Structure 1
Amino acid sequence: MPCSDSVSAEAFETGEAVCGQAIEWRRDFHRHPELLFDVDRTAARVAGLLRDFGCDEVTTGIGRSGVVAVIRGRTAPTSRTIGIRADMDALPILEATGLPYASAVPGHMHACGHDGHMAILLGAVKHLTATRAFSGTLVAIFQPAEEGGGGAKVMIEDGLFERFGIEEVYGLHNMPGMDVGTFAISDGVMLAASDRFDIKILGKGGHAAQPHETIDPILVANHVVGALQSIVSRSVDPIDPVVLSVTSIHAGDAYNVIPSEVLLKGTVRTLSETSRDKIESRVGALVSSVAKAFGAEAEFDYRRGYPPTVNHPIPAGILGDAAARVAGDAPVRRNTAPIMGAEDFSYMLKTRPGAFIFMGNGMTAPLHNHRYDFNDEALPFGVALWVELVTRERN
């Protein structure tokens, strides 16, 4: 598959050769998906390629199974050191694409495009290692466990930034529904915080024909679910987006028995720490008071996940400029609205200045779908973006 003619020749001098190799790497990763931190084959393949490229340093086992490569430029040396991150893990999904390179591991699938993210960064590293036509140092970060394991946080806790002297950090994610060759970025919030909650309603079980002798936890749970929705509509600033969804309700096993307890699960997505604090407090208070009103009891567990992904303005401008030099000004949306998904790159942006950008994947199936596939036509745009970011001089 040829690379797009619209990709900057300066940014992507290796052209079809690197693009063809990137497709091969991407499809190999796709065929052999691995989950969370258990990415032994993937990490070994990545590390082997990085060594073959001639990187100055290749280190494995950072954050349990992460891989880090160091590439030093040879023009006008400076102390500037930037990191670029690609995620490596797949999802526990049974693939249904029917592709020749479909997952060979039943129940595991690259349904979020991390195979493409790895291939993009590898293509950029191969080019930059061969040319060294940049100043400063590039640190290529291949991270495990983005899909719920917080691998970014684990790598940071393992000394990622201090050990490799990283001053700024950048990342990208493919986006189905955006045309190939387009980008979207903002100088603020890009993605939401993602939290989870468990609620247990404790009532008094009994015969369904004698409900007056019970405290029906199903009735209580219905009122709790309805009341929870009032938090978003009545307790949060309407211009501060919040999502609260009850996603699981389990109670009882028989037609004629009122159970003694109900279990509820759900998720909360917020764009600000202020709303995050308020939601946690309000959910706990509301659940307790509603249960008490019906003579029941409630147990509530709220667990914070990834924080909001918030770009730093100056790095966001730098990354947006690099995208514009690759794709042109019009295909780069600079003030994109945040989405309510979550991303553990947020931990990196809380630790170092940097930015995160969305890259068009075309009209493919949505992320986390059993028919999703990364669009290989997007690979050269991603490679060109990272090459342009690293090679262009900036103050």
Structure 2
Amino acid sequence: MSFQLSNSMLDQLVDFRHTIHRHPDLPGLEIGTANRVEAALTALSPDRLVTGLGAWQEPDGSQWGGTGIAALFDGEHPEDGPTLLFRCELDGLPISEQSDAAHRSAIDGQAHSCGHDGHMAIMLGLAMRLATNRPARGRVILLFQPAEETGKGARAVAKDPAFQALKPDMAFALHNLPGLGLGTVWLKDGAMCCASRGMRIALEGKTSHASLPQDGISPLDGVMRIVAGLKALSNGLDEGQQLDADFKLVTITHIEMGEACFGVSPARAEIWVTLRTVTDDAMAGLVEAAHSLATETAKAEGLALTISEDDVFDACTNAPETTQMVRQALEAEDIPHAHQPDPMRFSEDFGIFGQSHPATLFLLGAGKSHPQLHNPDYDFPDSLLSSGVQIFERIIRQTLG
């Protein structure tokens, strides 16, 4: 038996996705989205609904997150089987959408340009199926997670005592992928998505009149030395470089120095750089090398140095047992699938869940010519909603009955 959605259920999910798409929220600020999700889940009467998950505090004392939601559906004999976690994401992006669709974003400068609205709709479809047909045993957790785009949401949820009390035994997630045939799945054991982090390197010297630069301490030479050194740490653009344990990609994303003024030799500069590796061990080594480079350069140039990090993503690694469970579900549902040849260069904070129990993330094709993720004209294909629910439900039924 295939777990395909009825036309009426699919229509409800499309309407839900379009509503979510019109009202995107930025990472850690997903209050409106969370309210809509909570209302939709409450109507389905899960055995338990946990809200307010994944709050965190920034160094300036501001509060973020706390918008995560977990819906729990018990099997007929919940203690006789494992607890399966299925995760989707709540957040959109600070991108101005370019679309003529009736459901285009109603908020300037914000859009669901990564497809998280579609992932949420798939999860709601799974909740609708579970509401009318509980599994025979075990338990299912449907997690709507905040702030995936910044790498902070999964970490905050995993640290939340309310989430830890749920004790999932294994976890699953999907992400749509433009460039892959519509409805085709890529599945991979082991390394799935790269670790990455953003690093800000701030240098502070002393200003002087532009006619007497020798009387100040300009960060210019330090910036040039650090940029050159960072580029030398990277092999990610080398011809033939494989995405393996030795892969290192260093991308300079922003450089700022001084004020927009012709009369002042500057004192301050900032370099923003993104570090990317396949493994967490390689990331630790790359971070240490970048810190050493910046520290030695600042000392040699007589500059004060401050290093901070943001958008920190651990590597995402698929466990063999959960990957096999996905593979069996794809075969049972006759969904086309293939082995993913390499880890993805982009990062996914779902890897956090794989650190405490077996977990697998797989990719669902959005079409070979579909606009790319984070493009202003991207929109999640509604035709993928049924496939996503089918795969997740098959995993549940073949494991929990």
Q: TM-score, normalised by structure 1?
A: 0.88
Distance 2:219 2:306 in 1: 15
Is 1:347 matched with 2:352?
Answer: yes
Equivalent residues in 2 for 1:314-393, closer than 5 Å: 314-328=321-335, 331-362=336-367, 363-393=369-399
> 2:38 matched to 1:32?
no
Q: Give the C-alpha shift of residue 38 in structure 1.
A: 2.7
Partner secondary structure for residue 164 of structure 1: coil
Q: Is the contact made by 2:203 and 2:305 (CA closer than 8 Å) also made in structure 1?
A: yes
Residues of 2 paired with 1:32 and 1:54: CA distance?
25
**Aligned letter for 1:261?**
R
Letter of the structure 2 residue corresponding to residue 381 of structure 1 = S
Q: Aligned equivalents of 1:114 and 1:89: distance in 2?
A: 7
**Letter paired with 1:338:** P
Once the two structures are overlaid, the 10-residue window that deviates more, 303-312 or 173-182, is 303-312
Shift of the alpha carbon at 1:388?
A: 0.8
Question: In structure 2, how many angstroms separate the alpha carbons of the residues matched to 1:344 and 1:233?
Answer: 24
Deviation at 1:233, TM superposition (A): 4.2
Could you list the runs of 5+ residues in structure 1 that have no partner in the other structure? 1-8
Q: Are the equivalent residues in 1 in contact too, given 2:233–2:248 (CA < 8 A)?
A: no
State whether structure 2 residue 152 is matched by structure 1 residue 150.
Answer: yes
Q: CA deviation at 1:146?
A: 1.5
The secondary structure found in structure 2 opposite 1:390 is helix
The amino acid across from 2:48 in the alignment is E
**Match of 2:189, SS?**
coil
SS at match of 1:82: strand
| Percentage of pairs with the same residue | 29
Distance between the aligned counterparts of 2:50 and 2:186, measured in 1?
Answer: 32
* Residues 235, 247 of structure 2: 8 Å contact kept: no
- Partners of 1:312 and 1:160 lie apart in 2 by 25
Please say if residues 326 and 381 of structure 1, whose CA atoms lie closer than 8 Å, have aligned partners that are also in contact.
Answer: no
Q: After the TM superposition, which of the residue ranges 50-59 and 87-96 deviates more from structure 2?
A: 50-59
Give, in angstroms, the shift of residue 346 of structure 1: 1.5
The structure 1 residue matched to 2:105, chosen from 87, 99, 103, is: 103
Q: Matches of 2:298 and 2:31 in 1, distance apart?
A: 47
Q: Say yes or no: does 1:278 pair with 2:285.
A: yes
Amino acid in the other structure paired with 1:251: M
Q: Whole-Å Cα distance in 1 between the matches of residues 318 and 362 of structure 2?
A: 9
Q: 1:54 to 1:212 in 2, by over 3 A?
A: closer
Question: Post-superposition shift, 1:161?
Answer: 4.8
Corresponding residue SS for 2:26: coil
Matched, 1:241 2:247: yes
* 2:62 aligned residue: none
Partner of 1:23: 14
Q: Which residue of 2 aligns with 1:263?
A: 270
Q: Which amino acid aligns with 1:387?
A: E
Q: CA deviation at 1:298?
A: 4.6
CA displacement 1:66-103 (0-9 Å, x = unmatched): 11111123489832211101111111222222221111
* Pairing of 1:1-395 with structure 2 (within 5 A): 10-12=2-4, 14-63=5-54, 64-74=66-76, 78-148=80-150, 150-212=152-214, 214-233=216-235, 239=244, 240-252=246-258, 253-293=260-300, 295-303=301-309, 305-328=312-335, 331-362=336-367, 363-393=369-399
Conserved 8 A contact 1:199-1:298 = no
Q: Give how far 1:145 is off.
A: 1.7
**More moved, 241-250 vs 161-170:** 161-170
Deviations 1:312-361 (A, max 9, x none): 11111111221233344xx3223431122222211111122111111111
Residue 392 of structure 1 and its aligned partner are, at CA, apart by: 1.3
Letter paired with 1:340: R
CA contact (8 A) 2:2 2:333 kept: no
Q: Distance in 1 between matches of 2:197 and 2:135?
A: 43
Q: What is the rounded CA distance, in whole Å, between the counterparts of 2:375 and 2:350 in structure 1? A: 21
Query: Contact conserved, 1:152 with 1:348, CA < 8 A, in 2?
Result: yes
User: Alignment RMSD, CA only?
Assistant: 2.6
1:23 and 1:119 in contact (8 A); partners too: yes
Q: Which moved more, 1:35-44 or 1:61-70?
A: 35-44
TM-score normalised by the chain length of structure 2 = 0.87
- Cα distance change of structure 1 residues 202 and 52 upon mapping to structure 2, 3 Å threshold: closer
In 2, distance between residues paired with 1:202 and 1:158? 38
Distance 1:179 1:197 in 2: 35
Kindly provide the amino acid, as one letter, of the partner of residue 10 in structure 1. Answer: S
User: 1:264 corresponds to which letter in structure 2?
Assistant: I
1:209 Cα deviation after fit = 4.7
Q: Is the 8 A contact 1:153 1:347 kept in 2?
A: yes
